[in-house]
């Protein structure tokens, strides 16, 4: 189900800024993902490591171990095997 909340973007306008409401889940003017407070809280709960955009791969223990072309994160349980 798609979120229907709006996120406020601050767009440069002369010497100040103007507020522009945008749809949650869209891309902002600087290329960042716009998330409402509810979706951000859910993403932080699901991916506490901070990888809420591209979850990447998980090991057999369910831990995040990296993404293609990105950093590798070692699972301590896999290392002990």
Q: What is the pLDDT of residues 37-57, one digit of tens each?
A: 998 888 777 766 555 555 556
Number of separate helices (H) and strands (E) present in the chain? 2, 4
Q: How far is CA 68 from the centre of its chain?
A: 17
This prediction's pTM = 0.55
User: Distance between CA 15 and CA 60 in Å, rounded?
Assistant: 53
The predicted-structure confidence for 55-68, as pLDDT tens digits, reads as follows: 556 667 666 666 55
Residue with tokens 């409402």: 36
Higher local confidence (pLDDT), 52 or 27: 27
């Amino acid at each position: 189900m798609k979120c229907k909340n709006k996120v406020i973007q601050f767009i440069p306008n002369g010497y100040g800024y103007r507020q522009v409401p945008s749809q949650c889940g869209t891309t902002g003017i600087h290329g960042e993902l716009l998330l409402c407070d509810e979706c951000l809280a859910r993403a932080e709960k699901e991916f506490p490591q901070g990888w809420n955009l591209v979850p990447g791969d998980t090991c057999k223990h369910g831990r995040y171990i990296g993404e293609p072309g990105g950093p590798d994160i070692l699972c301590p349980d896999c290392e002990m095997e």
